[in-house]
Structure formats: structure tokens, C-alpha cells
Amino acid sequence: MMKKTAALFVGIGLLALLFAGSAMAKQKVVVYTSLENEEIVDYLNFAKKELPDLDIQAIRLSTGELGARMMAEKDNPQADCIWGWAVTNMAGFVPKKMLKPYKPTGWDKIPAHFKDPKGYWTAMDLYAAAFVINTKVIKAKNLPMPKGWKDLLNPAYKGLLIMPNPASSGTGFLQVASLLEMFDKQYKNKPVAQNKAWGFLDKLDKNMGQYIKSGSKPAKLTAAGEYAIGCSFAFVYSSLKKKGFPVVMVLPEEGAGYELEANALLAGAKHEAAAKKFLNWAISKSAMQRYAKFKLGVTYPGIPGPKDLPALSSIKLAPMDFPWQSKNRPKILEVWQQHFLK
């Protein structure tokens, strides 16, 4: 009896060791991201199959919140890498020495204009600004269908527009930045506060019902019938349309502002080896094909976007000057807040 009991304990002990070994085999990696929740769920389900040895702990923050969290944790980083964050935000953390250069496996396949030459960041996709319009509200109120930004100045839209706050939303920032560049060809040669586009935005403000923290919320609240037109981005339109909401999308005729979403390794990462494995996967062809279910365009060549969105090659994109935007980001936000958060 004693021998059997001893054998039983040995067996349980071996099983415990096996389970412990299995748990220990998974490497923890903490990832900060500003991707949309719907995307994160889809991508992580796929990533966990392709990276079975990683315990991926993703924390979703809005564009502005992510930067604030990083600054608060500057001396003791709680994340290991960034996944899908606006490059105009990301670039500002290079001179702060908060990012560590890393060129993931396959980095050479990504075109030069989609990555930092020293490897501080690598873009994975781009998203573009779009108007999401509720057709029921437009019809009920007998409103015209807008073609571009200038049409939104029509007094008929008073109180029926909603737009993201650029201080917290990457979508809001790219919309404002694109207007500063498109409406003032001398934007590089004058102080930000003297840009002609502020006059346009002041007029647009008269029709604005609300500025909101999230880039996707303007589209969602518009789809729910609370507004006629939400200044948002193309992917969220696609998601709402699939769910049966009465929405159509308009890409502004002046040019659709866009943003690159990028990945980076954090300086001081506590799980650097695991972070590098994740970043290798994050620009792989298989990961990019997954992103392409949602995004207008990905940075890996030859992968088409979603069937229910227009081909990237058919869209008139705004001439986005990312280095200028990143350098002048604090001033752009300061001037915006002076105008619209009184």
C-alpha cells in the first residue's frame, strides 16, 4: 500500500512538472496598441496560432492615451513593444530615446517609405479619412450628399457633424494635418498658427455637433442616427455596412488624409526576446494578409485590400508630409485647442 501511494505521489509530481514546463515554455510579451478592438481580436486569434510559444498580452489604448502612458512609464516601461500606432506619434519618441532600433525578419521586403531607415519603426498598414453618412438622416432632413470637406460648410448641416478630437485620436489628427497641407501650399514656410486652413476649420466648427475622443465613434454614432455625417475612417464604415446600418462612405474629393500604423521595440523592454519574435510576425506576409481584411492598404507589396472598399490605387490621397506633421504635432494640437476647446 505504501509503495502504491508513493508511486501515486510521484506520478502527480511528474504531471505537475510537465504542466509547469508547458506554462514556462510560453514567453510573455506585453504589447501596447491603438488598433481597433475588432481588429485586435481577429489578429490575436491568428497570432496565437502562429506564435504558440508566446503569451501575448495586448493592451488597447487610443492614440493619445498610448503616448501619455509611455511618457508616464518612461523610467520603468511596462510594455515591450508597440503594435499599430500612428507613425506621426511614434516618430516623436525616437529623439526621446524611448524606442530601440530593430529590423524584424523580412524588414528588407518593406518599401523604404514605410519604415525608419535605422529601424526605429516599421509601418504595417495605412488607414484613410472618410465621411460616413447616414442615408436615413440625410433623406429625412432633405440634406445634400457632400463630396468633400468644403461641402460640409453648408449651414444645412449645422449640429449634424461629428469629428474626432486630434489630441486624443490619430484619425482626428490626420484629418486636421491633411487640411493644413491641402488648404495652404505654403504650410512649410510659415508658423503653424498662420496656416490658412484654420479659417476653414473655424467655419466648419459652426456646423460641428461634437468633437469626440475616438476616431471610430463619429461613424458609430452617425450609424445610430445621432448625426448625419461622421468624419471617421474607411475601415469602420466597412464594419458598420456589414452589420446592416444605413451608411454610405464618401472619400473627400480634395484628397483623403491618411496615416501609417507602425510597430516598434521599446527601450528597456523586460521581455525583449519575446518582443522581437512578435515584431517579426507582425510584418510577416501572413500577418499582412490578415490586416488586409480590414485596411485600405498594407505595407507588404502585392497584397490587395478588402473587396468592399475601393482599391487603394483608385483613391485620391492627400499629400501627407509625415516628418513635418511629427515635428509640428505639439504646435498643431496647441493651436487646435486654442480655437476649439475654449
Q: pLDDT tens digit string along 66-100?
A: 999 999 999 999 999 999 999 989 999 999 999 99
Nearest alpha carbon to residue 124 among 264, 14, 16, 25: 264
Cα 44 to Cα 181: distance, rounded to the nearest angstrom: 36
Helices (H), the chain: 2-25, 37-50, 63-72, 87-90, 135-140, 170-182, 197-205, 217-223, 234-242, 272-282, 285-291, 322-340
Three-state SS letters, 23-92: HHHCEEEEEEECCCHHHHHHHHHHHHHHCCCEEEEEEECCHHHHHHHHHHCCCCCCCCEEEEEEHHHHHH
Band (233; pLDDT cuts 50, 70, 90): confident
Which of the listed ranges 162-171, 204-213, 229-238 does the model predict with the highest average pLDDT? 204-213
CATH 3.40.190.10 in the chain: give the residue spans: 27-126+259-309, 127-258+316-340
Q: Which among 172, 182, 176 has a CA at the least distance from the CA of 233?
A: 172
Per-residue pLDDT of 111-151, as tens digits, reads 998 999 999 999 999 989 999 999 999 999 999 999 999 99
When pLDDT is averaged across residues 98-112 and rounded to a whole number, the result is: 97
> 27-126+259-309, what's its fold?
D-Maltodextrin-Binding Protein; domain 2 (3.40.190)
Cell numbers at residue 281, please? 510576425
Query: Could you confirm whether domain 127-258+316-340 is CATH 3.40.190.10?
Result: yes
For residue 170, give the 3-state DSSP assignment.
Answer: helix
Mean pLDDT of the chain: 91
- pLDDT interval class at 261 (50, 70, 90): very high
Q: Name the nearest CA neighbour of 121 among 271, 283, 257, 289.
A: 283
